[in-house]
Amino acid sequence: MGKLITVVAVMLGAVSAHAQPSDSVAAAEQLFEQAKTMMDQGDFVGACPRFEASLKLDPALGTLLNLATCYEKQGKLASAWGHYREVVALATKAGDTARIDIAKERAKALEPRLPKLTIHPPKPAISGLVVTRDDQPVESAALGVGFYVDPGEHVISASAIDHKTWSTNITISEAEVKEIELPQLPAAPHAKPAAGTVTTIIQEGDPGSSQRIFGLTLGGAGIAALVTGIGFGFAARDSYNSAFDQGLCHKDTYQCTAIGQDRIDTAHTRALVANVTGGIGLALIAGGAALYFTAPKRAHVDVAPTAGGAAVVIGGVW
């Protein structure tokens, strides 16, 4: 109980107290009902995004479980498996044994069907290599490790400073194990002066641009996660207070009706999500700032003819 109150207090210091999470909960409920109707009609393409939107507005376990089911029926097996595992973790915290059993059973049933993809780094290693899968960064530590992916088509890309970008499309089926070897990236062409006509060549580059861009991306993701965590904190406070304000829980004995206890449990779940999401956001912001401010800055190379050949001057800022 004390942890929940601490989380709410931190969130209150970060944003205005005029937020109205009850509006978000109402919108989440409408989106959930629309999604359920669409899923019952077999329209998973329309249902899954509505479950996603409902979950963002009100992170309820039931919505998360329905989203995992929708992904499974849509054929996004790895996404479904990951969400089932998330349900198990959150339901364990909440003591919801029924949903724990359902999610565990469904996740286990999916495992034999999951495709696994391994992306191997080029040999020898390329400095500053950036690898993406479907426009999402693949961490260097994840290269050479097999991970579950959704069946279907995926785009794998690799790039590095002063190298040409490489990209390929792959298709992976259910239960298939596939490995991709990234090739050596060819050097990017550089302009060369015509012989005897140029006395000075200046080449300017920005070797740290990719690192700074990645740092800004991480920082932006961190801010988004932190804002989401703050929203969950408000939702936790609203659910917790409503249980006592509406007489569903006694303020002195903390005895609750079934509905009141459900609101207290929901508040705890939201507070947990607020803690996790806010912590991840702060970590991403710190990591992004470190990458941005430690990136090397612009460098230049001057080449000028001399009596004995050429003089080369290299300068830059770090």
Each residue's pLDDT tens digit in the chain (318 positions)? 333 333 333 333 333 334 445 688 999 999 999 999 999 999 999 999 999 999 999 999 999 999 999 999 999 999 999 999 999 999 999 999 999 999 999 999 999 999 999 999 999 999 999 999 999 999 999 999 999 999 999 999 999 999 999 999 999 999 999 999 999 999 988 634 444 434 444 444 566 778 878 878 877 887 987 888 798 888 878 878 886 787 778 777 778 887 868 877 887 888 888 788 878 978 888 887 887 788 776 544 444 444 444 444 444 444
Closest to 232 measured CA to CA, from 286, 287, 280, 285:
280
Phi, psi of 230 (to 5 degrees): -60, -40
Task: Please state which architecture CATH assigns to domain 116-189.
Answer: Sandwich (2.60)
- Provide the pLDDT for residue 233: 81
Domain extents for the chain? 2-111, 116-189, 190-207+296-318, 211-294
Q: Tokens 């979950």, residue?
A: 55
CATH number of 2-111: 1.25.40.10
Instruction: Please report, as a single letter, which amino acid is at residue 281.
Output: G
Closest to 125 measured CA to CA, from 67, 185, 41, 206:
185
Q: Provide the sign of the torsion angle of the four alpha carbons 153, 70, 80, 264, taken in this order.
A: positive
- Provide the pLDDT for residue 22: 65
Cβ proximity of 8 and 240 under 8 Å: yes
- Provide the pLDDT for residue 152: 96
Q: What is the pTM of this model?
A: 0.52
**In residues, how long is the chain?**
318
- Provide the pLDDT for residue 183: 96
- Provide the pLDDT for residue 2: 39
Rg (CA), the chain: 26
- Provide the pLDDT for residue 316: 47
